[in-house]
Chain A
Amino acid sequence: MADSLPIHQYIHQIKQIIGDDGVIDDPVELLSYESDALQGVRSEPYAVIFPRTTEEVSAVVKILHKAGIPFVPRGAGTGLSCGCLPIGGGVVISLIRMNRILEIDVKNRYAVVEPGVINQWITDAVKSAGLCFAPDPSSGNASTIGGNVAENAGGPHTLKYGVTSNHILGLEMVLPDGEIVAIGGKTSETPGYDLVGIVTGSEGTFAIITKIIVKLVRLPETYVTFCAVFDSIDDAARSITGLFSAGIMPAGLEMIDRVFMKALNQAFDMHFPEDADALLIIELDGQLSGMETLKQRVIDAAHTYNVRSIETAVSDEERTRLWKARKLAFGAVGRISPCYFTQDGVVPRTKLPEIMRIIYDIGKKYNISIAMSFHAGDGNIHPCIPYDDRVPGAMENAIKAGTEILKACVDLGGSISGEHGIGAEKNNFMIWIYTDDDLACMMNLKKAFNPDGLLNPHKIFPETVQLKI
């Protein structure tokens, strides 16, 4: 540490700025902040700080920086890669109290929000003006926009609308030495290097984000949401590329397998056919004109791949119900097991049949009934690997299975993370997809923002890679 005072004295200094009600340092209360949504990985912080303003964030960071104490930003803690855990010790800075929507400009199609704003709140605030914030991660009702920006969150409609980084115009941030910097702006482009583009998705290792200027887009005129049932998972997987080959660009394209369908029926009374191998949710959105033509093309393409049945949602309620089922799929896992582990690999779409066969084979190898509910249109798989943590070795087996699945994704030309981020969960797998030079380049870039490495250390990179100068 730069200074040599005991940590509690720095926490006391922070309380002078934030107030006693802005700091948690009781060991029992801290238990809620020792993990994110990835079960089984824990790291207790020294304290959790709850600033309310950018200036408070800056003041806190300056104290911690001077003291040489590592610190980690946290949103709602819905992440799945230990991104907000203070690995190796540190203070957590929670942005959850900075939760105001500061400005909405309908004519210029942007909003300025604080990082603790929940993703769905943005669309809720602008939908009466016919607008929305397009990125819709499944955690959208709980995750914060600050966390979405840090992880470059995706979601089911990434296929048409892109990921979070395609919808961020500007950021205000606090650098690890406490400096407050604004980058980007309210315009569609800003000159110079794309700092907004590289800070988005930097997993909280470059800066703490304190304000976000988000782009708003027009809500579509209409939706057509299909529920396509397949007897063969191969047919379902092949139909995905079939749709694209037919020139169809769905807004969303998701798959749910037999195991999940059964769990969803039990948990949410969904009435999915439990004797079918897979179900695709295919959504078109856009202008009403031409939608019948596109609808027929989807139906024709699906029949080319032996679809058992393909129906469209006949009402907004039915559409909402279908999407609720998809987004809450992992919430239904409780019907299968007390715990689960998931992965976030990506493969080229044409490799989906192959990766699904590999996943089920890995399941058989470890005697685990792996369930699949994922973003089929992007090739972004989310195998759900259930386990019972009361059974010795079960968690370890689940992690081994997940690791083998991820390696298989890479071997098929894919990547190790489509949207959950690397964090402290997959950092040692970065060497599967990047050379030492690639990793050294990224670590070099980090020095431009976080030269002392105090902000969110032990994330993203394998610890064994040395920086080449």
Chain B
Amino acid sequence: MLIVNAMKSLLTYLIEEKTECAFTQESELVQSYAINGVNPDYVLMPKTVQEISEALRAASKARTSIIPWGGGTRIHFGGNIISYNAALDVTHLHSILEYAPAELMIRVEAGAGIGVLNDVLRKNNQFIPLNPPFIEKATIGGILASNSWGYLREAYGTAKDFTLGLKFVCADGRVIQTGGIVAKNVAGYDITKLLIGSWGTLGVISEVALRVYPLPEVQSTGIIQFKNLSTCTEFLFELYNTHYSPSFAIVINKAFAQGTFILNNVSINDVPYYCIVGLDGLSETVQWQETSITNLSQKYSTEWMLISEQAGRMVRAILQNYQGTNKSVLCKVVSTRTGTINILDYVNTLQRESLIETLTFFDNGVSLIAISYLDEKSEIEKKVVLDMVMQLQHYSKLNEGYCILDSVPVWFKTKLLMRQQYPGEHIMKRIKNLFDPLTILNPGRYI
């Protein structure tokens, strides 16, 4: 009865707004917006910022809960659904509003796909260095809302480092501009940084202005094998102390290599760890880097294996799109570099090491750790996985880091009772209450 009343109220207020925002409750379409098995009652499909504003104003008056949608690639992140009256799909806002190559700036609507943007930018030898998983589906608004990133982060940073400004719609429908289009801007509070990574809980991002970068002239990928973690990490510390400046140096374990078949097209030995190094830049610089890293590898009694361009693209694509296995709990573990080494060591001691895949972005101290299970009906196996994650959380905290659940099955979310408290979380809750006092935006799933 409550649900029927909420639906009626939202309809009533949408009509009162005289909005042209499309909406539907047609069941097949509604079901395609399910999150963890929970369907919304409505799907709202605005085509303009004005329509987003009208839709949110109506939702605010009707006290209906809204979950914003982009490409849906990260929609499952967060706690269990508490309330989900309407999906707000912003993918109909996908235009490029302004592109100034000489300004190194592009301004786009939030529903634009990063792949489409880079196709346009490539004509001027420019690009946006964002390569999160499922880039063909991800929208720029969703990427910013989730602060998603890929291996390009190692060289360029995250969206926080190159978003110049954005426009978002508050829960009550007000449209807010933060930042601008210029390279430096300290006028007022940096609400751009607050919205990035806020998972649609503070506002719905509708437009974004980004700095763009020149495309590297050439790309090269190589792999180095290591018989143990300590040699691998010694090598990496030395690598980063040189001026060789790789674009990325990612460590994967044997389980990852075998599980993803990442090295299938590469003739390489079976060892516990591999380091995949990316080099991007001027042709002569990349050649010098290749020679230098070859020499450094020999110092550690191993070998730098340069792989073909095609194999390199395939390897990079696998690294970019990794989301665990189809039966795994994927954790993102963040620590310092030395803390990350301790954590990888610790993972080795967990009993089911053959079913734990690790992918580590060494320079930033971030690891994706996928703990697999075989039978999701086995309560014993579920408990083992749960215990492992809790141990990982505890050990991460001991190493001044965090273990965040990234991609997990629904059964896991219902079992995990506690997450690590965030520093300053009481302030975050105040901010949430100030921005969304009626708690209509993505309620209960993040802060």
Interface residues of B in 79-97 (CB under 8 A from A): none
For the complex, is B272 an interface residue (Cβ under 8 Å from A)?
Answer: no
CA A413 to CA B183, docked complex, whole Å: 12
Given A181-B424, A349-B103, are A437 and B185 neighbors across the interface (CB < 8 Å)? Answer: no
CB <8 Å contact, B100 and A348: yes
For the complex, is A347 an interface residue (Cβ under 8 Å from B)?
Answer: yes
For the complex, is B431 an interface residue (Cβ under 8 Å from A)?
Answer: yes
Q: Scoring B residues 162 to 200 as 1 if CB is less than 8 Å from chain A, else 0, what string do you get?
A: 000000001000111110111111111111011011100
CB <8 Å contact, A108 and B422: no
For the complex, is A202 an interface residue (Cβ under 8 Å from B)?
Answer: yes
For the complex, is A200 an interface residue (Cβ under 8 Å from B)?
Answer: yes
For the complex, is A68 an interface residue (Cβ under 8 Å from B)?
Answer: no
**CB-CB < 8 A to A181: which residues of B?**
423-424, 427
For the complex, is B285 an interface residue (Cβ under 8 Å from A)?
Answer: yes
Given A166-B157, A187-B336, A188-B364, are A245 and B102 neighbors across the interface (CB < 8 Å)? Answer: yes
Binds B, one of A54-62, A115-123, A318-326, A418-426: A418-426
Count of interface residues, chain A, beta-carbon cutoff 8 Å: 89
CA A241 to CA B105, docked complex, whole Å: 12
CA A130 to CA B238, docked complex, whole Å: 12
Interface residues of B in 268-290 (CB under 8 A from A): 281-282, 284-285, 288-289
CB <8 Å contact, B334 and A190: yes
**CB-CB < 8 A to B198: which residues of A?**
193
CA A434 to CA B176, docked complex, whole Å: 9
For the complex, is A358 an interface residue (Cβ under 8 Å from B)?
Answer: no
For the complex, is A287 an interface residue (Cβ under 8 Å from B)?
Answer: yes
Binds A, one of B11-19, B239-247, B259-267, B303-311: B239-247
Given A195-B424, A245-B101, are A441 and B364 neighbors across the interface (CB < 8 Å)? Answer: no
Given A187-B365, A249-B214, are A163 and B336 neighbors across the interface (CB < 8 Å)? Answer: no
Q: How far is the CB of A249 from chain B (nearest CB, A)?
A: 6
Binds B, one of A272-280, A289-297, A328-336: A289-297
Which residue from chain B places its CB closest to the CB of A426 in the assembled complex? B187
Query: B193: which of A105, A165, A418, A433 is its contact (CB, 8 Å)?
Result: A165
Which residue from chain A places its CB closest to the CB of B124 in the assembled complex? A245
For the complex, is B404 an interface residue (Cβ under 8 Å from A)?
Answer: yes
CA A265 to CA B337, docked complex, whole Å: 48
For the complex, is B335 an interface residue (Cβ under 8 Å from A)?
Answer: yes
Given A194-B160, A245-B102, A415-B180, are A186 and B400 neighbors across the interface (CB < 8 Å)? Answer: yes
Query: B428: which of A152, A192, A247 is its contact (CB, 8 Å)?
Result: A192
Q: How far is the CB of B216 from chain A (nearest CB, A)?
A: 10
For the complex, is B125 an interface residue (Cβ under 8 Å from A)?
Answer: yes
**CB-CB < 8 A to A248: which residues of B?**
214
For the complex, is A151 an interface residue (Cβ under 8 Å from B)?
Answer: yes
For the complex, is B430 an interface residue (Cβ under 8 Å from A)?
Answer: yes
For the complex, is A444 an interface residue (Cβ under 8 Å from B)?
Answer: yes
Q: How far is the CB of A255 from chain B (nearest CB, A)?
A: 15
CA A382 to CA B382, docked complex, whole Å: 62
CB <8 Å contact, A289 and B285: yes
**CB-CB < 8 A to B336: which residues of A?**
105, 108, 110, 186-187
For the complex, is A417 an interface residue (Cβ under 8 Å from B)?
Answer: yes
Q: Scoring A residues 363 to 378 as 1 if CB is less than 8 Å from chain B, else 0, what string do you get?
A: 0000000000001011
Q: How far is the CB of A435 from chain B (nearest CB, A)?
A: 7
CA A449 to CA B430, docked complex, whole Å: 9
For the complex, is B237 an interface residue (Cβ under 8 Å from A)?
Answer: yes
CB <8 Å contact, B190 and A422: no
CA A187 to CA B241, docked complex, whole Å: 19
**CB-CB < 8 A to B338: which residues of A?**
107-108
Which residue from chain B places its CB closest to the CB of A297 in the assembled complex? B282
Interface residues of A in 210-228 (CB under 8 A from B): 218, 220-221
Q: How far is the CB of A354 from chain B (nearest CB, A)?
A: 14
Given A163-B184, A441-B191, A442-B189, are A188 and B434 neighbors across the interface (CB < 8 Å)? Answer: no
Given A187-B335, A289-B285, A442-B189, are A107 and B237 neighbors across the interface (CB < 8 Å)? Answer: yes
For the complex, is A1 an interface residue (Cβ under 8 Å from B)?
Answer: no
**CB-CB < 8 A to B100: which residues of A?**
348, 350
Q: How far is the CB of B197 from chain A (nearest CB, A)?
A: 6
A-B contact pairs, 27 of them (CB 8 A): A162-B157, A181-B427, A183-B423, A187-B400, A190-B334, A190-B423, A191-B422, A197-B196, A202-B189, A245-B101, A247-B125, A247-B214, A249-B214, A287-B243, A289-B289, A290-B282, A347-B182, A348-B100, A349-B183, A415-B180, A419-B184, A434-B177, A437-B176, A441-B170, A441-B178, A444-B435, A445-B431
